[in-house]
Amino acid sequence: MRTRTAKRLQNDLVRAEHAFQREAGLLWGDNTVARAALSADRIVTTAEALIRDSVSTDWTVRKLCKQLECAPGAIYRYFPGGVDAIGAEIRSRHLAELGIMLAHVEQDREAEGLASLVPESMAGCLSRRCRYYLQFAREQGEVYRSLYAYNASNRGDQASGLAAEILVHRPAELIRLAVANRELNRPSIGTFDSEQLGLLIWARLHGHADLVLSGLADDRLQELDDRLLIDILALAGFKVADRPAGLEAAARAARQTR
């Protein structure tokens, strides 16, 4: 009697252990060991692949579990916020990568901006950053959409801080430096005003990128991009923007010689 009771208890413990391991994503229905240990990095990487393969940011934890071959509970142990929390991590990674590339093209005098600008000028630096942002959105549409696809309240300070730094604060800093270089049609500009201009610049770029990705823009993309960059320089008060026709003609001529 005692032997049967002990054996039944042992079987119950084994079943309970297997159930817990399956829930944690360590074992599957056939009780085989997981091919790759589940981790936060593997979850995020798989979610990124899911976005790329489906050409959509509309995915669920259930779809992710199917790819990872684990139970939903295993995902929520790493990311209690589910899709929004994973999306915030994806957003942080992509923003960090975008920030590195924007910093690179800003300093790269061979990178495309507006052809007639002095490469080392603040206008030249800003135009190169803006041009690359549009190029990034166009060439990596799903990655670009993932930056803005998730619930803002769950994005986290890291992602929001990165976005503000690379999309608003740095352009604002370039505008303040342009004052010191006497590139603007004003003798001075405060931090608040330059930050507001930085925000407006990002809003113009974002709106233009969305228009292009929606397919509503016509086949004159280069010309539209040129005009947008000229408008942005004019918005910030750069002196070179007083000659928009010359800037656009120079940019067009530069492309024709390539």
What are 82-95's pLDDT values in tens digits?
Answer: 888 888 888 888 89
pLDDT over 90 (residue 160): no
- pTM of the predicted structure, to 2 decimals: 0.75
Say if CB 63 and CB 76 are below 8 A apart: no
Residues 6+ apart with CB under 8 A from 119: 109
**For 43, how many CA atoms within 13 A lie in the half-sphere containing its CB?**
26
pLDDT at position 157: 52
Would you say how long the chain is, in residues? Answer: 258
Q: Percentage of the chain with pLDDT > 90?
A: 39
- Rounded CA separation 112/3 (Å): 81
Going from N- to C-terminal start, the domains of the chain cover 2-78, 86-256
**Mean pLDDT across the stretch 98-116?**
92
Say if CB 43 and CB 75 are below 8 A apart: yes
Nearest to 223 by CA among 248, 253, 257, 258: 248
More confident residue, 100 or 162: 100
pLDDT at position 107: 94
Say if CB 70 and CB 78 are below 8 A apart: no
Per-residue model confidence as pLDDT tens digits over 59-76: 788 889 988 989 999 999
pLDDT over 90 (residue 192): yes
Residue 28's pLDDT band, with cuts at 50, 70 and 90, is very low
Eight-state DSSP code of residue 161 = H
Q: What is the CATH number of domain 86-256?
A: 1.10.357
Residue 27's pLDDT band, with cuts at 50, 70 and 90, is very low
CB atoms within 10 A of CB 28: 15
Per-residue model confidence as pLDDT tens digits over 220-252: 788 888 899 999 999 999 999 888 877 777 777
Say if CB 50 and CB 59 are below 8 A apart: yes
pLDDT at position 255: 65
Nearest to 59 by CA among 95, 94, 90, 26: 90
Give SS3 for 75. Answer: helix
**Mean pLDDT across the stretch 28-34?**
40
